[in-house]
Each structure stands twice: as structure tokens, then as C-alpha cells.
Amino acid sequence: MRVVGIKVKDERMYKKIAKELEALNIPFINLNRVPSADIAIVLTDDHGKGIYVGMNVKRAIKECIRVYSGGFREIVIGIDPGPRPGIAVFGDEREIYSCIAESPEKAAAFVKKITEMYEHESCVIRIGDGAKVYRNRIINRLLPLRIEVVDEKGTSGMHIESAKKIAFLNGTVIKEEIKQEFEEGELKEIQNESRSISGITISKELAKEVAEGKIDMKKAIKKQNRRGENK
């Protein structure tokens, strides 16, 4: 397994670099604590001793990713939509990373980061056709990247495993933003979710805000609790 070495004097810079590499599932060691002569890729604040980390940490990380991965012909990303979407990333059919995102918005942000950090010739993002409320929020935040909505029948399982299956199913290409419209049953489902989490049923108005991604469930429950209502 290839490992990236980090050798910088500033502890805050080290933590920032480490956080970026952790998010991309790239193993690393602190060369200030564990000196090693076998590390091929080094991020450092010392000119001429590796990939230089100056004021622009993101640029250095991007260069590190380019060297680490060597680039890909095609990146394929599968997403199992939901309040906590599953994500699976493949480079030339080899799994790079998989995770559960904390929200549709964080899922979209992570996918964008992957497409920016890894060099590639082409990229396709495939997302399951279920959980429409959450699915459309992800799609709208990822356009104009190439996105396909696929039939997720037969992909049931844990979110990450479903995302891996979705990644390799062909679907319908989405080119325009999807207008968010919510059916009564979808808002009711969000209200039921709030009650199962907290014992408090949020209002339909707050459920719509949650569906639109304007507020998260935790904040909606707090608002409902402050109102002293339980509709």
C-alpha cells in the first residue's frame, strides 16, 4: 500500500493536510514522528524535499493526488439516495472510496471534491431513482456534471453496497435542474421520521423545509419544540 508522508513544522497545517487526505481515504504518516526513507510521496513545507506546501494547501493536495493515483481514464460514482446517502467511487473500475454522507448536501459536496481532485478523462455519476426528495437535492447540486438516474431495483442492501451496484447500471441522463415538488405522502414520511427520532411531530411547513434542504431534521425538531406545538 502506498503511503503519503507529511513533514511540516506548523501543527495546524499538518491537521489541515491530514483532514484532506482522510476525506479522500489516502493513508499517510507524520514524518516528524515516524521518520521513514521508504515514502515515495512527501508533502512538506521545505523547498526541494517533496511536494511543497506553501500558502495553497489545496493545490499541494491536488498535486499529491495526481502523483498518488496516476490519474484515471474514467471515474464512476454511484449514489444510493436518502437522508444519509451511500457513495461509492471507482477509478477505471477499481474502488477508490466508499462512505455514508451525513446529508444530501454533504454527499454532493464530496462528489464534487472527488471530481476536482482526481485527474480523469471522463466521469459519470449514477444515482438511484428512489428517495425522490433527497435524490433531486443531490442532482440539482451536481449539475452540470454528467448524471444518470438508474432503476435501483435489485440493489437493495446497506447504503454503501447499494451505491456500488448503482455505479455500474446504465440510466437516463439528466441535463436540467429538477423542480422540487412534494407529495403529501412524502411530507408525511418526514413528519413520521421526526416523531420516531424525538417523539415530536414537526409541522407540514417544517417538513417541507427539511425536504427542500433549507434546514436539517435536528433544527426542525428544535423549532417545533420551541413553538410548543405537536401537530
- pLDDT tens-place string over residues 65-114: 888 887 889 999 999 999 899 999 999 888 888 889 999 999 999 999 88
Give phi and psi for 59, each to the nearest 5: -65, -40
Res 67: pLDDT: 83
Task: Kindly tell me if the per-residue pLDDT of 131 is higher than 70.
Answer: yes
Task: Kindly tell me if the per-residue pLDDT of 1 is higher than 80.
Answer: no
What is this structure's pTM?
0.73
Domain 72-174 matching CATH 3.30.519: the answer reads: no
Tens-place pLDDT, residues 4-34: 999 999 999 999 999 989 888 888 999 988 8
Rounded to the nearest integer, the mean pLDDT of the chain is: 89
- Report CA 40 to chain centroid distance, whole Å: 28
Strands 94-100 and 120-128, bridge-based pairing? unpaired
44: three-class secondary structure by DSSP: strand
Query: pLDDT: is 205 or 228 the higher one?
Result: 205
Show me where the domains of the chain are located.
4-69, 72-174, 184-227
Query: pLDDT: is 78 or 118 the higher one?
Result: 78
Query: pLDDT: is 150 or 228 the higher one?
Result: 150
Strands 4-7 and 94-100, bridge-based pairing? unpaired
Residues 6+ apart with CB under 8 A from 142: 108, 111, 112, 125
Task: Kindly tell me if the per-residue pLDDT of 156 is higher than 80.
Answer: no
Strands 51-52 and 41-44, bridge-based pairing? parallel
Task: Kindly tell me if the per-residue pLDDT of 145 is higher than 50.
Answer: yes
Res 231: pLDDT: 45
Tens-place pLDDT, residues 184-219: 888 998 999 899 999 999 999 999 999 888 898 999
Query: Where does the pLDDT of residue 37 fall: very low under 50, low under 70, confident under 90, or very high at 90 and above?
Result: low
Residues 6+ apart with CB under 8 A from 100: 84, 85, 86, 87, 159, 160
Query: What is the chain's Cα-based Rg?
Result: 21
Residues 6+ apart with CB under 8 A from 172: 148, 149, 150
